[in-house]
């Protein structure tokens, strides 16, 4: 992701469709997907409306996990 953030420094002109076309089917790395999921969970935890549902889901997930 850092390389994409600095792309404008090495490429003074706007990106054209031809240069971006090879990346149209690219997927985000797993680490970036995990960050997005974590942000979604934390945002729900801050929400007073969604907090109870999130807590219920987490308790069910904990109860379903095998005991050590």
Mean pLDDT, contiguous 10-residue spans, the chain (68 residues): 64 85 88 94 93 93 86
pLDDT of residue 55: 93
Tell me how far CA of residue 23 lies from CA of 7, 45, 63, in angstroms: 14, 34, 42
Burial 28-65 (b: 16+ CB within 10 A, else e): eeeeeeeeeeeeeeeeeeeeeeeeeebeeeeeeeeeee
Per the listing, tokens 């999921």 go with 37
Give the pLDDT confidence score for residue 36 in this predicted structure. Answer: 94
pLDDT given for residue 4 in this prediction: 66
- Residue-level pLDDT at 9: 78
> 0.75 cut: is pTM over it?
no
């Amino acid at each position: 992701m850092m390389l994409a953030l600095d792309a404008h420094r090495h490429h003074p002109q706007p990106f054209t469709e031809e240069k971006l076309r090879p990346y149209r089917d690219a997927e985000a790395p797993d680490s970036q997907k995990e960050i997005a999921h974590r942000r979604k969970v934390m945002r729900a935890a801050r929400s007073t409306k969604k907090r109870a549902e999130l807590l219920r889901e987490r308790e069910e997930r904990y109860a379903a996990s095998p005991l050590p």
